[in-house]
Amino acid sequence: MSYRLTVLGTGYLGATHAACMAALGYEVLGLDVDPGKVASLSAGELPIHEPGLEEILRQGLASGRLRFTTSYEEAAEFGDVHFICVGTPQKKGEYAADVSYLDAVVESLAPYLNRECVVVGKSTVPVGTAQRLADKLARLAPAGELVELVWNPEFLREGFAVRDTMRPDRIVLGVVSDKAEKVMREVYEPMLAEGTPVIITDYPTSELVKVAANAFLATKISFINAMAEVCEAAHADVKDLSLALSFDERIGGRFLNPGLGFGGGCLPKDIRAFMARAGELGADQALTFLREVDAINMRRRARMVDLARELAGGSFQGCTVAVLGAAFKPNSDDIRDSPALDVAVKIREQGGDVTVYDPVALGNARKAHPTLGFGASALDAAKGAHVVLLLTEWQEFIDLDPEELGGVVAARKIVDGRNALDAETWRASGWHYRALGRP
């Protein structure tokens, strides 16, 4: 059977999911409470930067299979399967996740659900949320038990979102009935046909898989960054150390890149929400190590500021600093909890004259931090700089010519915050090259 799908919340996750599902041949209606977002998506203009997504958005619109709306009534009438993709940000001043957007979706959608359908939660949530929302759905939906909730966490990475959605490495389904499982297996049939592993489990396990995965990834990054701290103290080289570790297949080289650490709209807030939830459940001791993971991560940002100040001669007063990178990682315009911008702001606060450049995140950065300076290109941002900081490893920064950059700066001093450059090449061009965790 071909189901009609809705995607509720069309941000980084939802816009990707909607366009990819339309690309698989489904009729899809995306819904967002932000009318500007709906207008822009309807016009084929992606409000975010995500490689390959705008093309499939446009193909979906042209095929007539993909539309966008702000109307929950229309969504309820249209959909057989409703995917919830709204945000679960960190609460202000707390570690816990704000799940109020999920409640708002259920409260807006449920009163119109008067026939059989499946509601699928994809947002990252504290364990226990799915059962609570299922109870709420049962209370509010006129169709009652004909409406079923499934929990289906999402593991896509920004920058690879289309690929990860079309070819996920696993599909996790928290279900309470065979009927809902059957519907989900049919919806994901194109992926399952390619051999994607599927894990059928209960709500709490499915919710936990997601935060456990992010906790593991964050821990791996902080592990190598803890090694970087020790390398700094011992005059050893964390890049060589990481490479040597990577050949042990039990360890592997992925997520073992030392540097400025993790940011973004997921890893930082997810480990904090996980700790908060474990605390509520009386299992806080189990996750105390995540406090250290978080602390190691934040220390990398402080260390970067210290290293930059050292190169600036001990003070940022009267010092011009070029910051290359604003996005939390390359191939994204997402600046949520961006380590690069965090460092830029701290240096500005300490009196530095900071100019930031990023290939796609400048608009977002300027909006969030109007007091920072912004350049039109890497060379423009570096004009007259006493120190250059590479904080997001965009390919165009890795490809920079040390001679050309050297021609515009006031001093050839660079800190490679992502261990992305070839130290020898830069030193050969007369640059004072420093990197986190390396001599």
Ligand X SMILES: NC(=O)c1ccc[n+]([C@@H]2O[C@H](COP(=O)([O-])OP(=O)(O)OC[C@H]3O[C@@H](n4cnc5c(N)ncnc54)[C@H](O)[C@@H]3O)[C@@H](O)[C@H]2O)c1
Our CB check for ligand X shows the closer of 162 and 391 to be 162
Is 263 a residue that touches ligand UPG (CB under 6 A)?
yes
Is 267 a residue that touches ligand UPG (CB under 6 A)?
yes
Element at 343 (helix H, strand E): helix 339-349
Q: For residue 124, say whether it is annotated as part of any ligand binding site.
A: yes
> In whole angstroms, what is the distance from residue 73 CA to residue 6 CA?
12
Let me know: does 230 contact 180? Beta carbons within 8 Å.
no
Q: Which of 6, 40, 88, 392 binds ligand X (CB under 6 A)?
A: 88
Our CB check for ligand X shows the closer of 337 and 416 to be 337
What is the three-class DSSP state of 202? coil
Least separation in angstroms between residue 47's CB and ligand X is: 8
Phi and psi dihedrals of 124, rounded to 5? -85, 120
Least separation in angstroms between residue 266's CB and ligand UPG is: 3
Let me know: does 223 contact 216? Beta carbons within 8 Å.
no
Let me know: does 204 contact 130? Beta carbons within 8 Å.
yes
What would the x/- binding string for ligand X be over residues 19 to 38, using CB under 6 A? ------------xxxx--x-
Our CB check for ligand X shows the closer of 32 and 333 to be 32
> In whole angstroms, what is the distance from residue 383 CA to residue 322 CA?
8
Least separation in angstroms between residue 115's CB and ligand UPG is: 32
Burial (CB < 10 A; 0-12, 13-18, 19+), residue 93, is exposed
Residue 198's nearest CA partner among 166, 233, 168, 161 is: 168
Our CB check for ligand X shows the closer of 269 and 418 to be 269
86 binds, among ligand X, ligand UPG, none (CB under 5 to 8 A by kind): ligand X
CA–chain centroid gap for 136, Å, is 29
Burial (CB < 10 A; 0-12, 13-18, 19+), residue 34, is middle
Element at 39 (helix H, strand E): helix 35-42
Q: Catalytic residue at 266?
A: yes
What would the x/- binding string for ligand UPG be over residues 268 to 287, using CB under 6 A? --x-----------------
Sheet holding 432-435, edge to edge: 373-374, 353-357, 320-324, 387-390, 413-416, 432-435
Contacts to ligand UPG from residues 50-109, by CB under 6 A: none
Indicate the residue type of 289. Answer: F
Q: For residue 157, say whether it is annotated as part of any ligand binding site.
A: yes
Is 293 a residue that touches ligand UPG (CB under 6 A)?
no
Our CB check for ligand UPG shows the closer of 256 and 322 to be 256
* DSSP code of residue 286: G
Q: For residue 269, say whether it is annotated as part of any ligand binding site.
A: yes
Q: Which of 50, 80, 148, 158 binds ligand X (CB under 6 A)?
A: 158
259 binds, among ligand X, ligand UPG, none (CB under 5 to 8 A by kind): ligand UPG
Is 408 a residue that touches ligand X (CB under 6 A)?
no
Least separation in angstroms between residue 155's CB and ligand UPG is: 4
Q: Which of 7, 18, 23, 105 binds ligand X (CB under 6 A)?
A: 105
Lookup: tokens for 381: 């941002």
Q: For residue 258, say whether it is annotated as part of any ligand binding site.
A: yes
> In whole angstroms, what is the distance from residue 334 CA to residue 49 CA?
8
Is 246 a residue that touches ligand UPG (CB under 6 A)?
no
Let me know: does 72 contact 6? Beta carbons within 8 Å.
no
Which residues are annotated as part of the binding site?
A: 32, 37, 88, 124, 155-158, 210, 255-259, 263, 269, 329, 336
Residue ranges binding ligand X (CB under 6 A): 8-14, 31-34, 37, 85-88, 101, 104-105, 108, 123-124, 154, 156, 158, 265-266
Residue ranges binding ligand UPG (CB under 6 A): 124, 154-158, 214, 217, 221, 255-257, 259, 261-264, 266-267, 270, 328-329
